[in-house]
A and B are shown apart, each in its own frame.
Chain A
Amino acid sequence: MSEKKWRALDHCDTEKQDAEVLQEGDQEAVTKQDSFEWIIVKDSEDVEVQTTDTQAAVSLQVGIQVAIAVVISLTLGDNDQSKAVVQDLKQFMKTKQRNTQKTVIEGSKHVKVTTTDIDLAVNIQALLQILLAVVAKLDIL
């Protein structure tokens, strides 16, 4: 986490003692994804940059993971068995990813740059496939 910026509220993260309620939701979906994308434009004109909306992707991922947990918990009940199933599926859903991408445009004119985060897209599609399979197996669709 060398790239983590100092924040004035950092002390709140560590000193929080009563965070039990927040923890609950976390059990359902653990996704760690860091994207560091740098695009530096210097001494240039007419530069068009198109990039991936990482934030949207991450919330989509979490949405799918939670949906899987909900389906399992509704059909199997809130017991050890359902927890074990979710746990097992989670092995496949758990993703740790770090993308670092740096793009530097210097002394250029009329440049069009497109950056893509393929990993993210692939990950989301795979997750959705798991959800669809679970749902199909349980005759929901």
Chain B
Amino acid sequence: MSDSQKNPKVLSDKIIDLLVSNTFQKNGVNVEKAKQKLSDEQKQMLKDLVTDLTSQVNSFVKEQPSQQKKPK
């Protein structure tokens, strides 16, 4: 299996990106200002959190019986 098959995107990144941008815009979020709010330590912490969740999701999706290779 190629990597893309292992982790199929259920929604296109563009749609999700649009959703997030739109939500920020709608609520008058200043993204540049928001970026500066995080300390390096917080950034690292969030980065770790996201990496951890991503790998958990990947292994959950892989574990799904439907995604497993059939021996026969």
CB under 8 Å from chain B, chain A span 75-130: 75-77, 81, 84-85, 88-89, 92, 114-118, 121-122, 124-126, 128-130
Q: A60-B60, A85-B23, A140-B46 are in contact. Are A129 and B16 (CB under 8 A)?
A: yes
Partner pick for B57 among A116, A117, A128, A137, CB 8 A cutoff: A128
A-B contact pairs, 12 of them (CB 8 A): A51-B65, A67-B46, A81-B28, A81-B29, A85-B23, A116-B64, A116-B65, A117-B64, A129-B16, A132-B50, A137-B17, A138-B34
Chain B at the A interface: mostly helix, strand, loop or mixed? Answer: helix
Find the A residue at minimum CB distance from B63: A53
Q: Is the CB of A132 within 8 A of B11?
A: no
A70→B35 CA distance, assembly (Å):
14
Interface string of A49-89 (1 = CB under 8 A from B): 01111001100100110010011001111000100110011
A140→B42 CA distance, assembly (Å):
9
Q: Is the CB of B9 within 8 A of A129?
A: yes
Q: Is the CB of A114 within 8 A of B20?
A: no
Q: Is the CB of A71 within 8 A of B46?
A: yes
Q: A138-B34, A140-B38 are in contact. Are A126 and B11 (CB under 8 A)?
A: yes
Partner pick for B20 among A124, A133, A139, CB 8 A cutoff: A133
A135→B51 CA distance, assembly (Å):
11
CB under 8 Å from chain A, chain B span 46-72: 46-47, 49-50, 53-54, 56-57, 60-61, 63-66
Residues of A within 8 A of B29 (CB): 76, 81, 85
